[in-house]
Structure 1
Amino acid sequence: MASFIFFLSFSLSWAIVSGISWSEFLYPNFTASHYKFIDGGGSFLFSRNGTFKAAMSSPGTQQTRYYFCVIHVVSHNIVWSANRDAPVSSSAQMILDFNGIKIIEEDGSLKWSTPGLRSSVSALELTETGNLILMDKFNGTLWESFHYPTDTILIGQKLPVGRWLSSAKTEDDLSTGDYKLSITADDAILQWHNQIYWKFSMATKAYTNSNQAVEYMAVNQTGLYLFGHNGSVVVVQLNLEQSNFRMIKLDVSGQFIVSSYSTADRNPDFAGPVDRCRIPFICGSVGLCTDDSQSGAPLCSCPSNFKAGSSKTNDCVPSDASYSLLVSCNSTRNGTKLNSSSLISYLRLGYGTDYFATDFAAPIKYGINLTSCQDLCSARCSCLGVFFGNSSGSCYQLENELGSFRLSSSSENDQLGFIKTIVGPPSSRGGGDNGFGSQSSNFPIVALVLLPSSGFFLLVLLAFLWCRRSRVYTKGKTKVSRPSSPSEDIDAFSIMGLPTRFDYAELEKATDGFKIKIGSGGFGTVYKGTLPDGTEVAVKKITNLGLQGKKDFCTEIAIIGNVHHVNLVKLKGFCAQGRERMLVYEYMNRGSLDCTLFGTGPVLEWQERLDIALGIARGLAYLHSGCEHKIIHCDVKPENILLQEQFQAKISDFGLSKLLTPEQSSLFTTMRGTRGYLAPEWLTSSAISDKTDVYSYGMVLLELVSGRKNCLFRARSHSTSDDNSNGAPSSSSSSQGLIYFPLFALDMHEEGRYLELADSRLEGRVTSEEVEKLVCVALCCVHEEPTLRPNMGSVVSMLEGEIPLCQPNLASLNFLRFYGRRFAESSAVEESSGKDSVTLFPKANNSRDRTNSGSNTYFSYISSQQVSGPR
């Protein structure tokens, strides 16, 4: 017996020292590191038949970046990695305990962990399909790696709508790269910096079976599929040869590759795009890709007027050193902004050149000349170049990032490409060609000759049109309901910087007679429309402003139309004709945040909420300090946050308060914010500043955390203990049948009980630390004193982790208890009266006079749908 105990003790001690690998299961408390399992290359867990292994491994030949990952044994492919954006050293530890998995660096810092789980972990399993699963004591699944894909999908795994694969940066650097595979409701798309460059439906062997909405992508032994209707309908399919093992990978090159393995050799079954010259960065920035028909490999060169740049990259730069590519919108030279029109010139790429983005984006304008197309680009800092169609007069803008170009195989391609450049000082300017041989230095002389005479004729024309308009008016024709003709509104063209001007008849046709109504609110009604080029738009027909002078209206529209940011809804144009005032916006296909957050559709995951919060913050920060004319939104709320594919958040209706007269503004701001987004300074006649938007943002952030409205009425028959339908137990503020969530959030912050604030539908897929981060930021934003609120730039930095979180000032949050009490009283009034409208908190003459609970002077409650509606 003694010898057996000795042998057992010796075996266990040997296992601890040498780090033997385990099969299929691991149990708490287990610790692994690459150093501990160095004999097995860092591998410590194998699936039942050894198809997959889990390891602390470093890909490639480098030995500085280590990842906790799952590896396909035969091919040595890393199919999943936990800490792809937080690599660790060889001595870092993977720890499995009863709370989940975490990766701890040698210095003790936490690099990665599984989210908070609903119960204790009993075991970790590595399945034969390559899935890592954390299980409870009843073998129920608490967490699985298949729900958090990186760049690979395996047989048995689904990639649902709203999820995506991201390429790695390089073969030995697994951090998130620039390429992304996303699943939409009708296709699978490849993107580079949010620009589409390929769709699954473009594959020659893929075909569509159904018009049902796509729900997820999956691969199996027979092919690749997009499924709908809970997996019972194949929407798009690609049949492949039978294979027992197959994987999808978004390669570092930007190709979408389906492979099968019988040995260590990879057998590519499918790759898209097949033409690798369609890959956006295949030849670097401004590189020119040519397909070599013999080798099949792309050949890279530089377009005319460009030469190879640094030897470390494939990028091309202007051949003439007097020109340089635009690097930053805020860059200056001798005190002049580089995006100033006086410093901008265009270098021609030549005929037969294509750009990937023009295949998937509509022109911003039809039927214009090249000069007008370039002028549109010059007015936008984000525009990096244009493609112009000679025959159609179509103008495409290149934005975000400049990728590679390719030689077109089509003989019908008559597009000319131009790259926007910055020109050096006049003494150093070369003979910059604008594409047709004219020198930019000649412009001032031509202007001096032409402008005076042109101005004289323009004045004569304006005088003639004004007289004609006056005669028409005196005859009573202004009483006709139809808008006036465009010629009667020519004064709109005297405003510089206006976006596209639409004729009333154009918008009437685009909206099919204003048939499809998608929203209504305080500014008017919104209709869905389709322009002649197929672009979907949202047309806001303004009806509640009164007749405003065209010049004043157009002046404000020129300011709004020149505000461009990825998190702001783009104003594509306007109509100011007769008595009509309309705004044309880009169409946001996922609707408003309130419908997505509070609706009955799929629940927003925590990362999606965080991305939305960050997007809103970035948009507001730009409005407050990033654009030329500072804009205070004044109406930040979920109805005014619109969502695009991948839940990209964009703020709508910014700057529209500029269109109100002082009398209208006073009335509208009284109504606005009545669902809890109204900053205290609105009620005290204090100065309105950008901190007013910060307050509203904080209230929206609390709703993102909870997935419910900040003010939620409930029937009095419901017990307070059962007030958890949306993840928020009752607080003292809900004694009258009303939950005022900001007060509940303050209570839970003081007690450190952050998980009780999270949307219960997330089912433990969020940690207390993640919730604490957003709640702390939100509470700091809703301080009663505006000076204590952070600016939106600081909010962005806190969310991105660049600066420490601010700590809420509890004294400046006590007013929430007053608001909670008033909302509770409003609830009681609503229940006793049985009416749909309720009362809000009283209007105080002084922000400190919050104790007069007996006051019965209330604002009328008007729903924010009535006030502003979806945008």
Structure 2
Amino acid sequence: MELRGFFPFMMSICLSIVLLSEKSVANIPVIGSIYSVFEGSQINWLDYGGMFLLSNNSNFSFGFSSTKEELALFSLSIIHVHSAIVVWTANRGFGVRDYDKFVFDKTGNVYLEKEGGIAWSPHTAGKGVTSIKLQDSGNLVLLGNDSRVLWQSFSYPTDTLLSNQLFFEGMRLVSEPNSNNLSSYLEMKSGDAILYGGFQTPQPYWSMANEYRKVITKEDGPVTSASLISNSWSFFDHNQNLILEFILSDDFSFDVTWAAVLGDDGFISFYSLHNGDQSNAVTMKIPQNECSTPEPCDPYYHCEFLTKKKCYCPLELSNHWIGSPCDGSKSSIQLLNMGDKLDYFALEFVSPYANCDLKGCRDACVSNCSCLMLFFENNSGNCFLFDEIGSFQLRNGTSKFISCIKLPSDAGQRLNPAKKESNSQNHLRIVMIATTIFLLASCLLFLGYWFHQRNKRMLQFFEDVMGKDNFSCQDDDIQVENFLEILSRNPNRYSYKDLQTATNNFSVKLGQGGFGSVYKGMLPDGTQIAVKKLEGTNQGKREFRT
């Protein structure tokens, strides 16, 4: 009997140990590699910041991290542990909840769930993936039976490049969108590295070919790839021969991990990750000029950089509101001449729309509904049309371009965005003041009406009791006297002679009031009284009677 009870008891203990062991394994990050039949959500690794896979050197981690848009949403990311820089993201723009799972099933399929659907997948189903490894370089690789790489994160960068990560034609970096929802892009095109703003028609603003800080090591051959090696960003031809370098630091070391991050401001910033300090960005950025990106300021604003960047609205636009001429408006169009003081970041990189005179350039913009602005180069006759506009650069001298902005003909009666916002605030303030005055006036009118109705009801009561004819023709004193006569339980009333006798001709004064003196007296029945003698005021008489 005791033996039969002992075995179930031991079985339950063993089962509890197994379950606890499985739980602890699921909640502790794995070092190096994970294998098929692995799954979990952010909440399973909550104590480890959502990370479930570490590189062997523990410099990089892979797992769930909060998105910038909302802390309650998560991305599947690779993070440099010491600096907390996110170097790669799987489901960018498609955040998942803390209960959505990362799954590596027995068929080798890898994916991230999102409320029953799929937020991200490398599409490796049926390719024989047996393990996922986070390399010491920060590269996440999916391996087959023969350790062959079937997929790697280095081939699908987001906004960051790491040391020894090859960047070649067909790949691109995409920044997070800025406050105006504009992203910047880095691509390898036509033998050159190009940065451009993600407008409807892309607008370049930097190229390695035009970068004067580069060091050329070989003159011939187009650039086909680039990589962060040692202390430089190196560019190679199709045979992997070094063509040029962009030197990042005087510290020549192969042990340093570098990160090139394309920020939402449009700049590529370089970080040395060996010391784990994210704020230790190299002072060298791409591009160098603070006003050379698409939107260092808001669209249509001037950007000026002397000791620091300054943004301000052009005086020519201070009384205008800028809108699209393709918005269905039937108003006619005018071109506002902005003079020859403006420059624009994309003019150095884009091809002209036409070669003509200034009138032909103006006519081309007016007749093209998508054209918002033109730049005309006097020397060459080149005409540049733009369907979207970022920030302007202000030249200290004169620019070689004449610029015009397209406006509706009634734009002078409108406001630019800055004034529109200010005017909206003033309008709101006026509405609030007017509403307050209206409410106060309404309250005063209501109180006046209420007092009028109360007096009217009291007057009606007097008329009902005493008769309208008798009441209306009497003066105030007679009305009150008559009213006191008809009230039930009216107070005892004494003649002046009775009070004069009771107070011994008002001989013992007790005090002085606001409307007369108070005297001590005694009634015939022995009751002591205080008598207030009014001294020539009608208000006092009323107070005495009430």
TM-score by length of 1: 0.43
Contact persistence 2:132–2:142 (CA under 8 A): yes
Q: Which residue of 2 aligns with 1:303?
A: 314
Q: Deviations over 1:23-80 (max 9, x none)?
A: 1111111112221211111111110011000111114583133100100111101111
Q: Which residue of 2 aligns with 1:377?
A: 365
Shift of 1:350: 3.2
Aligned counterpart in structure 2 of residue 424 of structure 1, from 384, 394, 410 = 410
Q: Is 1:325 the equivalent of 2:322?
A: yes
Q: Which residue of 2 aligns with 1:358?
A: 347
Q: Which residue of 2 aligns with 1:260?
A: 272
- Count the aligned residue pairs: 394
Following superposition of structure 1 onto structure 2, how do residues 158-557 of structure 1 map, counting pairs within 5 Å? 158-169=166-177, 178-192=183-197, 193=199, 194-208=202-216, 209-231=218-240, 233-241=241-249, 242-243=252-253, 244-261=256-273, 262-269=275-282, 270-293=284-307, 296=308, 298-307=309-318, 319-320=319-320, 324-327=321-324, 329=326, 331-333=327-329, 336=330, 343-369=332-358, 371-399=359-387, 401-409=388-396, 411=397, 413-424=399-410
Q: Which has more radius of gyration? A: 2
Structure 2 gap segments, 5+ residues each = 1-6, 415-546
Q: 3-state DSSP class of the match of 1:357?
A: helix
Name the amino acid aligned to 2:280: N
Name the amino acid aligned to 1:12: S
Shift of 1:89: 1.6
Q: Which residue of 2 aligns with 1:99?
A: 108
Shift of 1:391: 4.8
Shift of 1:154: 0.8
Contact persistence 1:154–1:246 (CA under 8 A): yes
Name the amino acid aligned to 2:276: T
Q: Is 1:40 the equivalent of 2:40?
A: no
Q: Is 1:89 the equivalent of 2:94?
A: no
Q: Deviations over 1:654-712 (max 9, x none)?
A: xxxxxxxxxxxxxxxxxxxxxxxxxxxxxxxxxxxxxxxxxxxxxxxxxxxxxxxxxxx
Shift of 1:170: 5.4
Contact persistence 2:108–2:130 (CA under 8 A): no
Whole-Å Cα distance in 2 between the matches of residues 328 and 413 of structure 1?
27
Q: Which residue of 2 aligns with 1:559?
A: none
Whole-Å Cα distance in 1 between the matches of residues 389 and 20 of structure 2?
60
Following superposition of structure 1 onto structure 2, how do residues 674-753 of structure 1 map, counting pairs within 5 Å? none
Whole-Å Cα distance in 2 between the matches of residues 251 and 181 of structure 1?
11
Shift of 1:222: 2.4
Q: Which residue of 1 aligns with 2:497?
A: none
Whole-Å Cα distance in 2 between the matches of residues 95 and 289 of structure 1?
48
Name the amino acid aligned to 2:260: I
Contact persistence 1:71–1:80 (CA under 8 A): yes
Q: Which residue of 1 aligns with 2:444?
A: none
Shift of 1:216: 1.1
Whole-Å Cα distance in 1 between the matches of residues 174 and 337 of structure 2?
34
Shift of 1:210: 3.0
Whole-Å Cα distance in 1 between the matches of residues 182 and 73 of structure 2?
16
Q: 3-state DSSP class of the match of 1:276?
A: coil
Name the amino acid aligned to 2:324: V
Following superposition of structure 1 onto structure 2, how do residues 740-819 of structure 1 map, counting pairs within 5 Å? none
Name the amino acid aligned to 1:306: L
Contact persistence 2:325–2:407 (CA under 8 A): no
The structure-2 alpha-carbon separation of the partners of 1:177 and 1:406, relative to structure 1 and needing over 3 Å to count, comes to: closer
Following superposition of structure 1 onto structure 2, how do residues 2-151 of structure 1 map, counting pairs within 5 Å? 9=18, 11-15=20-24, 19-60=27-68, 62-97=70-105, 98-105=107-114, 107-117=115-125, 119-151=127-159
Contact persistence 1:100–1:134 (CA under 8 A): no
The structure-2 alpha-carbon separation of the partners of 1:325 and 1:412, relative to structure 1 and needing over 3 Å to count, comes to: closer
TM-score by length of 2: 0.67
Q: 3-state DSSP class of the match of 1:35?
A: helix
Whole-Å Cα distance in 1 between the matches of residues 205 and 140 of structure 2?
33
Contact persistence 2:271–2:278 (CA under 8 A): no
Name the amino acid aligned to 1:291: F
Name the amino acid aligned to 2:183: D
Shift of 1:129: 0.6
Shift of 1:229: 2.8
The structure-2 alpha-carbon separation of the partners of 1:143 and 1:393, relative to structure 1 and needing over 3 Å to count, comes to: closer
Whole-Å Cα distance in 2 between the matches of residues 23 and 8 of structure 1?
23
Name the amino acid aligned to 1:268: A
Name the amino acid aligned to 2:310: L
Shift of 1:131: 0.8
Whole-Å Cα distance in 2 between the matches of residues 9 and 218 of structure 1?
48
Whole-Å Cα distance in 1 between the matches of residues 385 and 346 of structure 2?
9
The structure-2 alpha-carbon separation of the partners of 1:101 and 1:248, relative to structure 1 and needing over 3 Å to count, comes to: same
